[in-house]
A = this chain, B = another copy of it.
Amino acid sequence: MRLCRVVGPMWAAVKHPAFSGRTLLVVQPLDEQGADSGASFVAVDTAQAGTGDRVIVLVEGNGARQILRGKDLPIRSVIVGVVDAVDTDQGPVPMARGAS
């Protein structure tokens, strides 16, 4: 699981029915201070996340299929929660939308 920031929605022509009605969001991985860390990728939203939200993204096919309740879904990356804060030994880092 990675801590990510929602960059925004992606508009695309995807014919496979597994994607119909699902929101595709581009997400940017972050480090625990909220700074960008690594390459952005595309995830399916299940947490009503919006642009700028810090989120937890699960990156594994079997787990994604459990979350989305479908055995045959060709989907691997799923946003499972919206993050409020991370406690570090330098103190808490707020992660709510608009923070830092």
Contact = CB atoms under 8 A, between A and B. Distances in A.
A16 to B, nearest CB: 6
Contacts of A76: 1, 58-60, 63
Contact of A26 (B3, B47, B58): B3
B86 A10 contact: yes
How many copies of the shown chain assemble into the complex?
5
A87 B41 contact: no
A40 B87 CA distance: 14
Contact of A12 (B18, B32, B39, B84): B84
Interface residues of A, number: 59
A72 B81 CA distance: 18
Contact of A16 (B8, B38, B43, B80): B80
Choose among A8, A12, A28 the residue with the greatest number of B CB atoms under 10 Å from its CB. A12
B2 A82 contact: no
Given A63-B61, A74-B80, A89 B52 contact: yes
